[in-house]
Structure 1
Amino acid sequence: MAESHIDLGVVTAPSGVLVLGMASWIDHWPQLGGTLSERARASASIGGGHVHDWMCEMVAVRAAGDRPLTVRAGTAKSPLDGGPTIATLEIDLGIPWVRTAGNEPIILGDLPVDRCGMVLGDALALDSWTGDGHPSTDGLADVTYWGAHAEAAHRQFGGELIPGRGNQVRGWLDLPLDDAKSLGDALGDWTGDEQGRGVMVAVDEHNDFHSFNRASRTHPLLIGAIEVADCPVLGINWDSGDHSMRHRGERPFGQVYPVTLQPDRTGRTTMRWTIPPYAPGHDGPE
């Protein structure tokens, strides 16, 4: 299957350690006995590798700490709608390649595609990551609503179409937290017909997890560029339908994909995550 390539931007790793990990669990590492950066640094000190504890997974590697690190994606057609989806993720680590016999790739391990997305960034910065459910870090929140009675709700409550969410999701961005909660309660209590049916409502407090999801909505590959602890970080999302067809079940069902180190054309080291093409009949659990 032919690939095309897209530049996704840059990340930095001032700590000298870069992490690709599951967004669902980035902020759970301290509960398992050691911060993310401590576990990542230990892995990177022996050449890098896969770190897995309970539901938390990441790959950690050494990277140049004094320059931006370019990130690119090779894409292939999604089996869901034919749109682009990630086939390879390549990160220039900014350090010289240590030659192996025949320049064969060095296998670091494998990772599943987290249904909540992946995070790529500096290990120390990610110690500050605020995950799903974390209270608002700036006192603001977003309110959205959708469903069969959304048009009727719009006539009563208002709300703008939310970029990247199609023509069905309306709401308000960057509201003071108390106002957002009050509005969310009002929408939740509202009924649009005599059967008492209303709309689906979400009140998303501003944290890093929500910020990367919000930033990814309008990107063709659902990439969300944000800053965490003053470091540029990339969040990598997947369309929920594409994830269901290709990646559901994740590690318990063997849906994991190799992460390697290999040389680029200039003799520097690249980290590469390779997701094989969709194969009907091999797309997850029945």
Structure 2
Amino acid sequence: MAEAATDLGFVTAPSGVLVLGMAGWIDFWQETDQPLSVRAADAARAGGGHLLEDEAEAVAVAAAADRPLAVRATVQPSPFDGAPTIGVLEVGLGLPWAGGPELAIGDLPVDRCGMVLGDARALDSFTGLGGGGARSGLADVRYWGLHVEAACAEFGGTPVGRAAYQGGPRGWRDLPLAQARELADRLVAWVDGHDRGRGLVVSVDEHTDYHLVHRAGQDHELLAGVVEVAGCPVLGIDWDPGDHSVRHAGERDFGQVYPVTLGGDAAGQAVLRWTIPPYEDDGER
């Protein structure tokens, strides 16, 4: 039976270079000798290629600078819980394909922190896990755990997070950072007195690009969402922790990497493809 396909949205690449990389490491490139956009441009001029620095990985290809680029994925069931996961991520590059077989340009692991796809120059300014902070000055507050209902009765808050459900995380979005921290402090003080600090987890999530791409995709079946970074739409794709543990844990160190290729579509246009094969357990290998 053919795999189903789903549209994930559009990105742009006004620099003429598109990057697919590990979300947990994108802002690490800002600390290296050359910006991500410089390395990516060199790779794109060479016909596309793989970028590696420490544990940061990405691939870069040339793309049309003057139009939206459509992103879609074929879907396969996760061996963890049967939920849909990505089989092939496919990006139309808006450029003609010269023909011939697909060209291998590298491979990528599935980052447990997710993946990002967007313009190389825009990603130079991506705020992520490195502590760049929230440019907007806003943050979200979430709390969850054994005493979530009692805390909700005391403080309020609405269900938040993926597939909000009874007893799941509660909180507030888009608060000024100072207000978010003060509210979190009051929640922590309450649970300290309520049950000696046990039974409630409190999180303040600053509006970094990393947080916002995860938030944008939290209700999508493939955890995919688009946000604006430096004026460009950038796609973020999260991974279910259980699915990552079953299929992708260990990442490159354990050989869990998947091919990235350049090829053509039926209309003769260039396409970037990242192919994640169906899972096989140890007994089937």
Scaled by the length of structure 2, what TM-score is found? 0.95
Contact 1:190 1:198 in 2 (8 A): no
2:115 maps to 1:118: yes
CA distance in 2, matches of 1:281, 1:166: 35
Task: Give the match for residue 277 of structure 1.
Answer: 278
Task: Give the match for residue 246 of structure 2.
Answer: 245
Q: CA offset at residue 224 of structure 1? A: 1.4
Contact 2:109 2:258 in 1 (8 A): yes
Q: CA offset at residue 2 of structure 1? A: 3.6
Output the amino acid matched with 2:13: A
Q: CA offset at residue 280 of structure 1? A: 1.4
Question: Post-superposition, which runs of at least 4 consecutive aligned residues in structure 1 deviate over 6 A?
Answer: none
| Helix, strand or coil at the partner of 2:149 | helix
TM alignment of 1:194-209, pairs within 5 A: 194-209=195-210
| Helix, strand or coil at the partner of 1:184 | helix
Task: Give the match for residue 47 of structure 1.
Answer: 47
Moved more, 161-170 or 217-226: 161-170
Question: 1:282/1:274 Cα in 2 relative to 1: closer, same or farther (>3 Å)?
Answer: farther
CA distance in 2, matches of 1:180, 1:140: 8
Q: CA offset at residue 163 of structure 1? A: 4.7
CA distance in 2, matches of 1:229, 1:37: 13
Question: 1:194/1:24 Cα in 2 relative to 1: closer, same or farther (>3 Å)?
Answer: closer
| Helix, strand or coil at the partner of 1:277 | coil
Contact 2:188 2:197 in 1 (8 A): no
Q: Once the two structures are superposed, what CA deviation does each residue of 1:132-180 show, in whole Å capped at 9, x if it has no partner?
A: 2321211111000000111111111111111525321000001111110
Output the amino acid matched with 1:8: L
Q: Once the two structures are superposed, what CA deviation does each residue of 1:5-57 show, in whole Å capped at 9, x if it has no partner?
A: 00111111111100000101111113221000001001111111101110111
RMSD: 1.5
TM alignment of 1:15-54, pairs within 5 A: 15-54=15-54
Is there any run of 5+ residues in structure 2 with no aligned partner, and where?
Answer: none
Same amino acid, percent of matched pairs: 58
Is there any run of 5+ residues in structure 1 with no aligned partner, and where?
Answer: none
CA distance in 1, matches of 2:158, 2:283: 41
CA distance in 2, matches of 1:112, 1:240: 14
Contact 2:8 2:225 in 1 (8 A): no
Output the amino acid matched with 1:258: P
CA distance in 2, matches of 1:213, 1:92: 23
Match of 1:129 among 119, 126, 149: 126
Q: CA offset at residue 80 of structure 1? A: 1.7
CA distance in 2, matches of 1:93, 1:161: 38
| Helix, strand or coil at the partner of 1:190 | helix
Question: 1:109/1:197 Cα in 2 relative to 1: closer, same or farther (>3 Å)?
Answer: same
Task: Give the match for residue 97 of structure 1.
Answer: 97
TM alignment of 1:64-213, pairs within 5 A: 64-99=64-99, 103-132=100-129, 133-167=131-165, 168-191=168-191, 193-213=194-214
| Helix, strand or coil at the partner of 1:226 | strand
Output the amino acid matched with 2:121: L
Q: CA offset at residue 194 of structure 1? A: 4.6
CA distance in 2, matches of 1:72, 1:265: 15
Question: 1:135/1:81 Cα in 2 relative to 1: closer, same or farther (>3 Å)?
Answer: same
CA distance in 2, matches of 1:126, 1:183: 32
CA distance in 2, matches of 1:196, 1:141: 23
Question: 1:195/1:135 Cα in 2 relative to 1: closer, same or farther (>3 Å)?
Answer: closer
Contact 1:2 1:76 in 2 (8 A): no
Question: 1:147/1:62 Cα in 2 relative to 1: closer, same or farther (>3 Å)?
Answer: same
The size of the alignment, in residue pairs, is 280
Q: CA offset at residue 3 of structure 1? A: 0.8
Contact 1:7 1:73 in 2 (8 A): yes
Q: CA offset at residue 214 of structure 1? A: 0.7
Task: Give the match for residue 254 of structure 1.
Answer: 255
Q: Once the two structures are superposed, what CA deviation does each residue of 1:103-141 show, in whole Å capped at 9, x if it has no partner?
A: 211000000000111000010111111112321211111
CA distance in 2, matches of 1:134, 1:15: 23
Contact 2:11 2:235 in 1 (8 A): yes
Task: Give the match for residue 265 of structure 2.
Answer: 264
